[in-house]
Amino acid sequence: MTTLRIEPTGGPLGAFVTGIDLTRPLDAATASALRDAAVTHKVVFLPGQDISLDDLERTTDDLGGRTDTPFVTPLPGRPMVVRVLKEADAKIGFGEAWHTDLSYLPEPPAFTCLWSSEIPPKGGDTMWSNQAAAYAALNDETKAEIDGLYAIHSAGRPYGANGYYAQVKDQLSMGIEPSAEADKEFRHPVVAKHPDTGEPVLFVNQTYTIRIDGYEKERSDRLLKRLFLHAVQEQFRYRVQWQPHMLTIWDNRATQHFAINDYQGHRREMFRTSVKGAPLLAV
């Protein structure tokens, strides 16, 4: 087994992991240690990984198995790999709003892997927010209100036939496939029990969570607005400056993230895979 060197960022989440070479297949113990590190630190950054897309797919399998990304055109011949691309002349990026990946699915991915192929000379950072810390910081009254509630998630706003990406499709560098299918709804607990650690995590995000199940609109909007703002406050966040060929793996059940689009005139290219998840249960 390889011994991982794990250096926490000192922030509310994140650790840099070295001492591992992802161009080689991982033994089961090392794969499990890497997965554990991603659960413990919520996001792990592995700099200096000169990996191929085959290596990225194999690492994704080692972490629990690949799953696809609906409404985003995958790479030819690699149905589970997405290219997150913004060309130098494009204005609109991908993931420029707080979200938890694919939270509109019955089984949102457990982890996301994002590998930097080409980064701008400055900018293009990504931020994550720790949703276990966000839950823990809520006052008792709010906890009592939201424990046991369910929220409805849908991909309709970004990916619906007339959704955001359908409006800006021509200004994007990557293939998005808006569809009426995106309007499907699915319900998750507002406070989910993390499947690996059992810790309560706040599980609502402004991109995909559309209402509180059973609340009338005004009450639902008021509560969600408050939770969305609370969930991504500075004290729960870590922001990484990408290095070329860095693989980042995040625990999608316990985080939200935001890709900062502040590098106009430069190209940014990343490759992304998702690791299979499981249904989220209430605490």
Pick from 259, 271, 274, 277 the residue near ligand SIN by CB under 6 A: 259
Rule CB under 6 A: say whether 232 interacts with ligand SIN. Answer: no
The residues in 188-227 that bind ligand SIN, with binding defined as CB under 6 A, are: none
Structure tokens at 142: 């709010």
Q: Which of 84, 201, 247, 280 binds ligand SIN (CB under 6 A)?
A: 84
Give the residue nearest to ligand SIN (CB).
Answer: 95
* Binding-residue pattern over the window 29 to 68 for ligand SIN, x denoting contact by CB under 6 A: ----------------------------------------
Nearest Cα neighbor of 203 from 94, 96, 113, 277 is: 277
Q: Please, which residue, 114 or 155, has the CB nearer to ligand SIN?
A: 114
Among 126, 154, 173, 252, binds ligand SIN (CB under 6 A): 126
How far does the chain reach from its first CA to its final CA, in angstroms? 35
Q: Does 15 bind ligand SIN (CB under 6 A)?
A: no
Count of other CB atoms within 10 angstroms of residue 183: 17
Cα angle 174, 179, 184 (rounded to 5 degrees) comes to 125
Q: How far is the CB of 99 from ligand SIN (least distance, A)?
A: 7
Q: Report in angstroms how near the CB of residue 114 gets to ligand SIN at its nearest.
A: 6
Are 270 and 168 spatial neighbours (Cβ–Cβ below 8 Å)? no
DSSP 206-251: TTTEEEETTS-HHHHHHHHHHHHHHHT-GGGEEEE---TT-EEEEE
Report CA-CA distances (Å) from 200 to 110, 133, 138, 269, 283: 15, 9, 12, 34, 6
Q: Does 176 bind ligand SIN (CB under 6 A)?
A: no
Size of interface with ligand SIN, in residues (CB under 6 A):
9
| Residues in touch with ligand SIN (CB under 6 A) | 84, 94-95, 114, 126, 257, 259, 270, 272
